[in-house]
Amino acid sequence: MTTQRTAVFPGTFDPFTNGHLDLTRRASRLFDRVVVAVAENSAKGTLFTVEERCEMIRQVFKGSRRVEVVGFSDLVVSCARRVGAVVMIRGLRAVSDFEFEFQMALMNRRLSRAIEVAFLMPSQQYTYLNSTLVKEVARHGGAIRGLVPLLVERRLHERLKALQGSPRVSGAARPGSAPRRG
């Protein structure tokens, strides 16, 4: 009997970028199973629901036997336990990510000693990329081709177009307006 090594890759993924895609692929070369865990985080003012984000990511990995997608709204270590993960994948784009990720890794270790954290660096072309930047560029009519999977690009444009017709809401209640990490 072989034991399957499972990694969980948690995040908000609003939207799922090519940087996220790159890290998921890298993790799938290291682990038998990678579970992309999509966080429900109302404080972040997401543009897409958890279900919509999960569905888009599933479509991106359609046909992949190593990648699964789940939504979660509790602690990431609880999600990791549910899916049988022994490792949590986190991406480091730049030195500025390290302090936040280090603090989170230590807190997660305190909450569950059974889960290790593995930091992966994305390909060089994605080191500047995050979901917030993608949304801002798209919101202002800039080109996002090559920054997100084509399916995500189409859905992002559709969502932003639909929101243009709705009354503007000020502050953090406007979808995608809360500051955050991609």
44 is catalytic: yes
Pick the catalytic residue: 26, 33, 131, 159? 131
Residue 168 has φ and ψ, to the nearest 5°, of -70, 140
Strands (E) in the chain, as ranges, are 6-11, 33-39, 67-72, 87-91, 116-120
Pick the catalytic residue: 26, 33, 44, 66? 44
- Could you give the CA distance from residue 153 to residue 62 in angstroms, rounded to a whole number? 17
Pick the catalytic residue: 53, 66, 93, 159? 93
**Is-contact 38 12, C-beta < 8 A?**
yes
131 is catalytic: yes
33 is catalytic: no
Pick the catalytic residue: 20, 53, 135, 155? 20
- For tokens 């801002």, what's the residue? 136
93 is catalytic: yes
Q: Which residues are catalytic?
A: 20, 44, 93, 131
